[in-house]
């Protein structure tokens, strides 16, 4: 979450309305359902700090 807060601070300083994020690397040794659930939970947690300041994060679809 520290990286997300830093990104929000930078977005605020440069008056960015949106910024791009990705959910990280796919790990073959971990079940896909677990990775998806973890990514979803982390995105929900990251949305909270964005709400008061206004920038929107855009999820980059990676393989």
**Exposed (0-12), middle (13-18) or buried (19+): which is 21, by Cβ within 10 Å?**
middle
Residue 37: what pLDDT? 93
Q: Phi-psi category of 48—alpha, beta or left, where left has phi over 0 and alpha has psi -120 to 50?
A: alpha
pLDDT tens sequence across 3-61: 878 888 888 889 888 888 887 788 899 999 999 899 889 888 888 877 777 778 888 87
**pTM here?**
0.67
Residue 62: what pLDDT? 67
* 33 vs 1: CA distance, rounded Å: 22
Hey, where are the domains in the chain? Answer: 2-59
């Amino acid at each position: 979450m520290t990286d997300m807060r830093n990104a929000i601070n930078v977005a605020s300083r440069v008056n960015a309305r949106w910024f791009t994020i990705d959910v990280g690397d796919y790990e073959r040794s971990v079940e896909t359902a677990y990775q998806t659930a973890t990514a979803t939970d982390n995105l929900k947690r990251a949305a909270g700090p964005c709400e008061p300041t206004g920038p929107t994060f855009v999820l980059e679809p990676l393989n």
